[in-house]
Structures are given as structure tokens and as C-alpha cells.
Amino acid sequence: MKTFCGRANPTTGSMEWLEEGEDYDYHQEIARSRYADMLHDKDRNVKYYQGIRAAVSRVKERGEKAIVLDIGTGTGLLSMMAASAGADFCYAIEVFKPMANAAVKIVEKNGFSDKIKVINKHSTEVTVGPEGDMQCRANILVTELFDTELIGEGALPTYEHAHKYLVQEGCEAVPHRATVYVQLVESKRMWSWKKLFPVHVEAEDGEKILVPPSEMENCPGVPSVCDIQLNQMPSSDFTTLSDVVTMFSVDFSKPVQSASTYYRVQLEPVKSGKAQIVLSWWDIDMDPSGMINCTMAPYWVKPTSALQWRDHWMQCVYFLPHEEPVLQGEKLYLTACRDEYSVWYNLQKAREGENKADGEEHKADVRVESPVCRCRAHLLWNRPRFGELNDQNRTRQYVESLRKVLKTDSVCLCISDGTLLPVLAHYLGAKQVQCMQPSRIGLYHPHELWQALFKANHLEDKIKIIEARPELLKPSHLEDKKISVLVGEPFFTTSLLPWHNLYFWYARTAVSTHLASSVTVLPQSASLHMMIVEFQDLWRIRSPCGICEGFDVQTMDDMIKDSLNFRESKEAEPHPLWEYPCKSLSDPQEVLTFDFTKRVPQHCLSTEGSVNLLRKGKSHGAVLWMEYHLAADISVSTGLMQISNEKGNCEWNPHCKQAVYFFSSVIESEILSDPTAVTYAINFDTKTGEIAMDFKL
């Protein structure tokens, strides 16, 4: 079987479909999966084990045989816990074939083959009866099918089906229930991920302000979940306007309904402010009494309890359709709507004389359809990109650089996706401004957004959008003029790793014949930087587990290792490091430079060298990022912003993902008088636009 994998080509900026062997997909799946992270989640594992033991005991106390159904068994971990706890038999269901195979091996290695039957099916395909997959219905239902949004991986339809067809009425369930919590907050930082703020530009003839089109004001945005490591959000970046409130619960021991519905609670703000964001997380009670509780609550909710780090479950940020000023003590209704797989929120003010959170009277204003972006901006800009465009510091650096290079007779061409640079260039007095924009991003045509944005700012005839690819640029697009200033951020929606934005260099090369001999290119160059780091926690996602709660899961470790070694899984991977604290063990080092004033060369660019480990710590990997040199003395970093203290704690650009290359083995640097050196070889292949690297410790 062959699969086709979509991949952006960094030399053309467009998607290509590559035919891959059948192994490709599952190696990617396993190498990048969260299985390792789950096995390292001690808090989760311990509590599942406690809950499973308690459930088996309750069934045994009733004098019944304990028959377990474990949906989504993965490594088989929860079934092995059940078998150890004395369950008579376990049906372990796993839809993903390589995992089901691994589960068979792991179960056998741990000596549970007679107690656990692994079934490689989706649970909705499982049959019950003398000839079926299961002899009889189970009386203990164990699952771990949750994502950060709780229901995003299809837990509800799976439970709904299991209660109808696979388990007995009155069964025990581990977890027994899940509860979703919310807190209303005001946060300029998080709100900047959803809305375009006015952009202020100091121009020669006074201040110019770019305003968003009015459609953007009330646009509900897109339904995809915004899941982040909320514990990395400093309390100075938001103000809580309400207490933590229980939004809804699901009892997994009873029949579950997956059909769309909504839940409503009454809120009284503890503070006046602008309601913008609903922060949300959940917990699961492993037993009916709620004594065994596993929670995703962020740091400020129970400041005394130890936080378990995990990446497979984080917290959610929901954006209200529009900002709502609220007063302390005023009565509000918060509504959570959900379909089978996702949740979204609305806030309403209570009408005069209303007191109860009584759903009926409000039915009319509940918007049960999931949010659809009407302004089109949310299709062009994702949340980190909104944040980047709203970063006034960053805008200021571009404005200052543009001011240095633009003249009144400048003919300016901008190449970057969804960029506001052409507007800045126009405000700063460039005579003619054109911008190359893809005519399509996926299925979406950004043209109408530009029209709306230009209209709202009376720029219709001031900036020309060229919907051609750089190699198809014609003199007529430029009114037969040569380009005197070529600018880019650079930013492209198809980029995954930092150096994929070097597409700007390829585009610059493609438009070479249109450049004036005295052209200024902004940025004039870019550089790739690298630093060796110790992660506080992120190392767990790639680290073998060995023994998990007494069960040997090394088979899984080996499988992940195989998949990582399979082809390009060995490459660096993108991570937004502001969410993943680390400390620098080496000085940041510039390893390659890219000269945008020249064309992309034919030959590869490579470098070799060594870097000293200057701090004590575990070298988990190297982080790489790009810096763009806009003009003399003005550079922007898409990675390291600063090393904030003598311990080496790093501050990263909050809008960008950095590249992380995990070392296959960790070394501990100890003696600082004789520093350990890490040698590296880095190669930028100008034919493919990819960077290959190798490190020796």
C-alpha cells in the first residue's frame, strides 16, 4: 500500500504530494506520538491504577466476575493494571494496527496473555456473543480517550456506542466521571491571538493608523481548539474576572449522549473588566466518590499541590465572539456549546429580573452551530500569526528599517504571506507598492480579506496585490518599472521549520530580472543560530520509559526508537519553546548565513564546528532558529530573545516555533574547568531547501 504525504517544498513555497511507502505513515505516527509522554505521566498512571483496583474490588465484592473492556489500549497498560488487580478477563481494543501488535507483544512479555485479548478494531466494530470478539458484555469499562479538550478524540461517540452494545447496565467505569471547568479572563496577550489590533505607524506627515475591517469585530473565529501549556502564561499576562466554575460533567458509568447540546452557568464577575477569553481545563475522578482525582488545573488554582508536567493534556483557551465589558457582581450567563468533538463558548448578560441559570428562556440566543469565520482573517492568519502581527515592538522594528531604505520614488515589492508590510511601506511614503500573495491558501482565497482591509483604510488604489507566483512575474505587473526595494518579513504559511521561510530567498532569486541594479533587499540577510539546551520537561516526549508502574513497556520504547531512526524523523522538529522551559548549556552560536542581496547559490552551504558546554546540566538537544537582519543595527529573532539569568533560563519569541533536534543520548556536563565540546555538521541543501544536521557528543 502506498500513501501520499503532503509536504511544502521550501524552494517553491507550494505543497507537493509525495508518494511514500506504507511504513512511512505509521513511523511518523509513532515517532511523533504522545505514547512516550503518557507513559511518563506518573500522576495519570498511578491514579488509573488506583481507580482500576478499586473498580475490580467493587465488582468482586458483589460476587461477580470482573470482565474488563479497555477501549484504546495502546501499549496494553490499563488492561495489565486490571489483570494485576485481579480482573478475570480483559478485552483490549486498539484500532491502530502497529499499536495493537505492540500491545500483543507487551502483554505477552509481562505474562498476561491468558488474561488479556487484544482486538485490533475500532470499538464500534467489536462484536459480542459466542462467535464474537467478546464472549459477553463487560462490567468494567476502562478508557483513556481524552485530549486537551476532553472530547476531541471522539470519547463521546465511543462511550455512547460502548454503553449500547459492549458493557452491562450499571457497569463500573474508570474514569468514573470527567468535569470541565472554566474561568473568565481578560488578557491582552491572548486576545491578540484572535483580533487584529489597530497598527500605529509614525510617518513623516503624522501618525497613520491601520484599522481592522468591521467584519472582524464580531467574527467568532475558527472552531479548532487552542490548546497551550497554560502554566507557562505568567499571571501578569491576564486578569481573572470570575472564580473557577464547573461547566459540565460526564458520568462514564451511565449511557452517554454524543449529540450536540449546550450547558449554561450563571456567573458573577469578581472584578470589572473586559471579558474576552474563557480558560478551560478538566479533571477526571477515577472512582465514584471522587477521592482519586487527576486534574489539569493550572498553577494558580491550587498553588500548594505539585503540578504534573504533561504534553498530551494541556489547557484550552476559548475566544468569546466579541469582547464584553462586565461589572463586578453583575449577573452573566456563560454557555458552553458542544458537538460530538468540540466545544465553544458564548457570554450573555442576564436580563432585568432574571436570577436562575434557567436554560429554557434563553434557548433562542444559543448558537448551537459551531463558529465559522466570517471575516476571513482567521483563515489567513492562525493564532500565533495574529499575535505576531499585533506585536507592536516587532512592527516598530520593521517601520524603522523601512524608513531607512524607502525613498519617495521607491518601487516596492513585498513577498510574504498575509503580511502588513505593504501598508507600512505605503504609509512611509513609497511611491508604488505591490505585494505578491498566494491566490489560494488551501481551499481559501485571501483576496476578499485584502479588499476589506484596504477598503476600511482607504487603500484600495494604493496597494496592488499580485496573485502570481514569483517565477511568473511580468513587467506589466510592475507597470514596467524595476523594483527598487524588495521586502519580506519573511513569513510563509507553508513553513514548518524556521529555515523554510528562506523561501523568500528563492522568490528573490526568481524575480531577479525585475530588480533595479541598485535594489535594496530587506531583510538583507538571515542567519541560522544554534544552542545546546537542557529542557525542564520536554525531553520526556522522546525519552524511553522502560518500566511503567511495574510493567515492562520496553517494546514500546524500541518501537519509538525505530520510528525515529526511520528516514527523516531524525530531523529537527518544530516546537513553540515559550511553552517549554529550558536552560542554555552553551552560548548561542551563529552557524550559517544567507545573503539575500545575492541569488541562491547552486552549491550547498555547510558548516562544521564545535560548541562548548558552559553550564552543568543534561544536554537534551540543540535548538535552532533564524534571525533576520533588516537593516544596519536592526535584527529580529524568531528564536532566542534573551538568556534571562545566570542559571541560563531562556526567553523565546512567543509567536514562533523553533527547531529542536533531540540527541539520541543525553550527556551530563559536569566539570566546567574542562568543558565538554559538542561537534556539529550542518548542511543547507540549496536544491531542496532542507537542513540536515549531525551532532557528536
Residues known to be catalytic: 144, 153
Residue 73 makes contact with ligand SAH by CB under 6 A? yes
CA-to-CA distance for 509 and 144, rounded, in angstroms? Answer: 51
Q: How far is the CB of 84 from ligand SAH (least distance, A)?
A: 15
Q: Which stretch binds ligand SAH (CB under 6 A): 68-76, 215-223, 241-249, 579-587?
A: 68-76
How many alpha carbons fall within 13 Å on the CB side of residue 631? 15
Q: How far is the CB of 196 from ligand SAH (least distance, A)?
A: 38
Question: Count of H helices and E strands in the chain?
Answer: 14, 38
- Closer of 74 and 212 to ligand SAH (Cβ): 74
- Closer of 108 and 215 to ligand SAH (Cβ): 108
Return the residue of 71, 140, 405, 473 that touches ligand SAH, per CB under 6 A.
71
Return the residue of 46, 136, 145, 459 that touches ligand SAH, per CB under 6 A.
145
Q: How far is the CB of 124 from ligand SAH (least distance, A)?
A: 6
- Closer of 259 and 368 to ligand SAH (Cβ): 259
Return the residue of 11, 84, 110, 123 that touches ligand SAH, per CB under 6 A.
123
Q: DSSP code of 430?
A: -
CA-to-CA distance for 661 and 650, rounded, in angstroms? Answer: 17
Q: How far is the CB of 80 from ligand SAH (least distance, A)?
A: 10
Residue 128 makes contact with ligand SAH by CB under 6 A? no
Return the residue of 99, 173, 222, 630 that touches ligand SAH, per CB under 6 A.
99
> E strands within 44-176?
67-71, 89-93, 116-119, 138-143, 167-174
- Closer of 93 and 423 to ligand SAH (Cβ): 93
Q: Which stretch binds ligand SAH (CB under 6 A): 57-65, 69-77, 224-232, 559-567?
A: 69-77
Return the residue of 93, 414, 582, 640 that touches ligand SAH, per CB under 6 A.
93
Task: Show the cell assigned to 479.
Answer: 507597470
Question: In the stretch 36-55, what mask flags binding to ligand SAH with x, by CB under 6 A?
Answer: --x-----------------
If residue 106 lies in a helix (H) or strand (E), which one and from where to where? helix 97-109
Q: Which stretch binds ligand SAH (CB under 6 A): 88-96, 132-140, 227-235, 575-583?
A: 88-96
Output phi, psi for 129, to 5 deg: 140, 175
Query: In 3D, which of 344, 316, 345, 348 has the Cα closest to residue 331?
Result: 348
Q: CA torsion sign, 76 to 20 to 417 to 519?
A: positive
Return the residue of 52, 59, 77, 85 that touches ligand SAH, per CB under 6 A.
77
Q: How far is the CB of 110 from ligand SAH (least distance, A)?
A: 14
Q: How far is the CB of 94 from ligand SAH (least distance, A)?
A: 5
Query: In 3D, which of 559, 560, 562, 567 has the Cα closest to residue 540?
Result: 560
- Closer of 78 and 435 to ligand SAH (Cβ): 78
Pair type for strands 483-487 and 411-415: parallel
If residue 280 lies in a helix (H) or strand (E), which one and from where to where? strand 273-285
Q: How far is the CB of 376 from ligand SAH (least distance, A)?
A: 34
Residue 74 makes contact with ligand SAH by CB under 6 A? yes
- Closer of 134 and 375 to ligand SAH (Cβ): 134
Q: How far is the CB of 174 from ligand SAH (least distance, A)?
A: 11
Q: How far is the CB of 30 from ligand SAH (least distance, A)?
A: 10
Q: At what angle do helices 77-84 and 97-109 cross, to 10 degrees?
A: 30
Q: Which stretch binds ligand SAH (CB under 6 A): 90-98, 521-529, 590-598, 684-692?
A: 90-98
Cell 478494531 belongs to 121
Using an 8 Å Cβ cutoff, are 576 and 387 in contact? no
Q: Which stretch binds ligand SAH (CB under 6 A): 75-83, 183-191, 360-368, 398-406?
A: 75-83
Q: Please name the residues in contact with 565: beta carbons below 8 A apart, sequence gap of 6 or more.
A: none
Query: In 3D, which of 222, 226, 195 has the Cα closest to residue 322?
Result: 195
Using CB under 6 A as the binding rule, the residues of this chain from 581 to 610 that contact ligand SAH are: none
Q: How far is the CB of 5 from ligand SAH (least distance, A)?
A: 19
Residue 78 makes contact with ligand SAH by CB under 6 A? yes
Beta bridge partners of 574: 659
Q: How far is the CB of 312 from ligand SAH (least distance, A)?
A: 8
Which of 461-464's residues contact partners 24+ apart within 8 Å by CB, and which partners?
462/426, 462/433, 463/422, 463/423, 463/426, 463/433, 463/434, 463/435, 464/433, 464/434, 464/435
Q: At what angle do helices 97-109 and 22-31 cross, to 10 degrees?
A: 60
Q: How far is the CB of 74 from ligand SAH (least distance, A)?
A: 2
Residue 96 makes contact with ligand SAH by CB under 6 A? yes
Using an 8 Å Cβ cutoff, are 44 and 63 in contact? no
Question: In the stretch 269-308, what mask flags binding to ligand SAH with x, by CB under 6 A?
Answer: ----------------------------------------
Cβ atoms within 10 Å of 173's Cβ, excluding its own: 25
Q: Total binding residues for ligand SAH by CB under 6 A? A: 19
Return the residue of 51, 66, 104, 144 that touches ligand SAH, per CB under 6 A.
144
- Whole-angstrom CA distances from 336 to 109, 262, 586, 601, 693 are 45, 5, 47, 55, 47
- What's the distance, Cα to Cα, between the start and end of the chain in Å? 39
- Closer of 68 and 486 to ligand SAH (Cβ): 68
Q: Which residue is nearest to ligand SAH (CB)?
A: 72
Residue 134 makes contact with ligand SAH by CB under 6 A? no
Return the residue of 37, 94, 172, 283 that touches ligand SAH, per CB under 6 A.
94
Task: Show the cell assigned to 68.
Answer: 474488563
Return the residue of 7, 117, 122, 445 that touches ligand SAH, per CB under 6 A.
122
Q: Which stretch binds ligand SAH (CB under 6 A): 70-78, 417-425, 633-641, 685-693?
A: 70-78
Return the residue of 110, 158, 335, 563 that touches ligand SAH, per CB under 6 A.
158
- Closer of 90 and 693 to ligand SAH (Cβ): 90
Residue 650 makes contact with ligand SAH by CB under 6 A? no
What percent of the chain is helix, strand and coil (3-state, nearest 5)? Answer: 25, 35, 40
- Closer of 133 and 324 to ligand SAH (Cβ): 133
Residue 75 makes contact with ligand SAH by CB under 6 A? yes
Q: Please name the residues in contact with 401: beta carbons below 8 A apart, sequence gap of 6 or more.
A: 522, 630, 631, 634
Using an 8 Å Cβ cutoff, are 535 and 580 in contact? yes
Q: How far is the CB of 548 from ligand SAH (least distance, A)?
A: 8
- Closer of 84 and 495 to ligand SAH (Cβ): 84
Q: Is 397 exposed, middle or buried (0-12, 13-18, 19+ CB in 10 A)?
A: middle
DSSP 545-614: --EETTEE-HHHHHHHHHHHHSGGGGS-EEE-GGGS-EEESS--EEEEEEETTSPPPSS-EEEEEEEE--
Beta bridge partners of 69: 91, 141
- Closer of 52 and 478 to ligand SAH (Cβ): 52
Residue 311 makes contact with ligand SAH by CB under 6 A? no
Q: DSSP code of 455?
A: H
- Residues binding ligand SAH (CB under 6 A): 38, 71-75, 77-78, 93-96, 99, 122-123, 144-145, 154, 158
